[in-house]
Amino acid sequence: MLPIDLRGKRAFVAGVADDGGFGFAIAKALAEAGASVCVGTWPPAMGIFETLLSRGKIDASRKLSDESLLQFEKVVALDADFDTLEDAPQEIRENRRYRERGDFSIQGAANVLVEAFGTPCVDVVVHSLANGPEVKNPLLETSRKGYLAAMSASAYSFVSLVQRFGPLCRPGASFLNLSYLASERVVPGYGGGMSSAKAALESDTRVLAFEAGRRYGARVNSISAGPYASRAASAIGFIGKVVDYYVQNTPIAEPLEAAEVGNVAAFLASPLASGVTGTVVHVDKGYHAMAIPVDVEGATIKR
- Name the phi and psi angles at 176, rounded to 5: -145, 140
Q: Quick check: 133 and 235 in contact, CB under 8 A?
A: no
**Among the options 98, 156, 190, 216, which is catalytic?**
190
246 is catalytic: no
What strands lie across the sheet with 36-41, from one edge to the other?
72-77, 36-41, 10-14, 122-127, 169-179, 219-225, 280-283
d(CA 154, CA 194): 8
180 is catalytic: yes
Helix or strand or coil: residue 210? helix
d(CA 148, CA 196): 10
Q: Quick check: 295 and 253 in contact, CB under 8 A?
A: no
**Among the options 98, 147, 156, 180, which is catalytic?**
180
Q: Quick check: 101 and 43 in contact, CB under 8 A?
A: yes
DSSP codes of every residue in 114-137: HHHH-SS-EEEEEE-----TTTTS
Cβ burial of 179 (10 Å; 0-12, 13-18, 19+) is buried
Q: How many CA atoms lie within 13 A of 88 on its CB side?
A: 24
d(CA 147, CA 195): 10
- Name the phi and psi angles at 219, rounded to 5: -100, 150
- Stated as kind and residue range, the H or E segment containing 222 is strand 219-225
d(CA 292, CA 58): 40
- Name the phi and psi angles at 164, rounded to 5: -90, -25
Catalytically annotated residues: 180, 190
